[in-house]
Amino acid sequence: MSKPKVALYWCASCGGCEEAVVDLAEDLLEVVEAVDIVFWPVALDFKKKDVQAMKDGEIALTFINGAIRTGEQKEMVELLRRKSGLVIAFGSCAHLGGIPGLGNFYDRESAFERAYLTSPSTVNPEGVLPVTEADVDGFELTLPEFWNTVHTLDQVIDVDYYLPGCAPPADLLMEAITAVLTGNLPEKGAVLAPAKSLCDSCPRSDSKPLKISISKLKRPHEVEPDPEKCFLEEGLICLGVSTRSGCGERCINVNMPCRGCFGPMDGVLDAGAKAVSAIASILELEDEENATEEDILELLRPIADPAGLFYMYSLPSSLLRRSQ
């Protein structure tokens, strides 16, 4: 019997998700024993035409990482969708938009202006900007269209499952592959990670008081956090309260508060707004009755970049998706 075919592809991403596959280490040998990897541009020399030549649905499972921002990415993920039985959005960018999704604070015009005209390292005296078609010495050259807005994978194609994380940890990846191979899959649309919040699995949860209240927020560069203590108790914003568990507490273990790469728990429509809710709820003022709007603003002042913090990994997946 022939082995199930697996494909891996990347879109607007940093390459960290590809590293996550390599992080399977010896387990990767087990994986290639069980499946045939038929397309993986970062590692193997298969081409788009090889995918085009396959029958529809011939690939059992495709992992796609990265957000979607160009016409080429759309064309490739639509092709892979057609050829695949299952598609897993792999990593924060495909799942929620991720760090490239912060591009939704801007638009195409301002991104081009910054990248090709005004950034200090740019030398572009003729002010050349990318165009989709250009005539050069009688040859017609083309580039994929660069969109105004960054999208999540499921805004472009139908997605079967989500494997969250920046990057997804090896154990969850291995579990996902095993689930597919054994047919032991949850309901379509599921996030293949625990349903609990990060606080539930946090190694510092023992030190977390029953009720947290923060009267003075601090920024990470202002304190050296106690490696045993709950960050919130120290006045540092940690998004573990509104973020899904399953990451292996990698940031917490190197004394860095959670920034939400695993996305929200089930049922949450807007990860950023949920985080705003969670953090604002545990703040307090001494004299709340007589507090003015200015007192509240003063309390919130250390949150210098709230949208960048609360929507760090999820802006394209948010209800509003981008700046107005």
Site residues (vs another protein, CB under 8 A): 74, 105, 145, 147-149, 151, 155-156, 268-270, 272-274, 276-277, 279-281, 283-285, 288-291, 293, 296-297, 299-300, 303, 305-308, 310-311, 318-324
Residue 295 beta carbon to another protein: minimum distance, rounded to whole angstroms: 10
Nearer to another protein, 66 or 168 (CB): 66
Nearer to another protein, 39 or 313 (CB): 313
Three-state DSSP state, 161? strand
User: In this structure, are residues 257 and 224 in contact, taking their beta carbons and an 8 Å threshold?
Assistant: no
Residue 94 beta carbon to another protein: minimum distance, rounded to whole angstroms: 16
Nearer to another protein, 151 or 244 (CB): 151
Residue 41 beta carbon to another protein: minimum distance, rounded to whole angstroms: 23
Transcribe 183-250 into DSSP letters. Answer: T---STT-BSS-SSBHHHH-TTGGGS-SS--BSS-B-GGG----TTS-TGGGTB--GGGGSBS-S-SH
Q: What angle do CA 109, 153, 96 make, to 5 degrees?
A: 80
Residue 37 beta carbon to another protein: minimum distance, rounded to whole angstroms: 30
Residue 275 beta carbon to another protein: minimum distance, rounded to whole angstroms: 9
Nearer to another protein, 55 or 301 (CB): 301
- Exposure string for 114-143, b = 16+ CB within 10 A, e = fewer: eeeeeeeeeeeeeeeeeeeeeeeeeeeeee
User: In this structure, are residues 97 and 104 in contact, taking their beta carbons and an 8 Å threshold?
Assistant: yes
Nearer to another protein, 83 or 151 (CB): 151
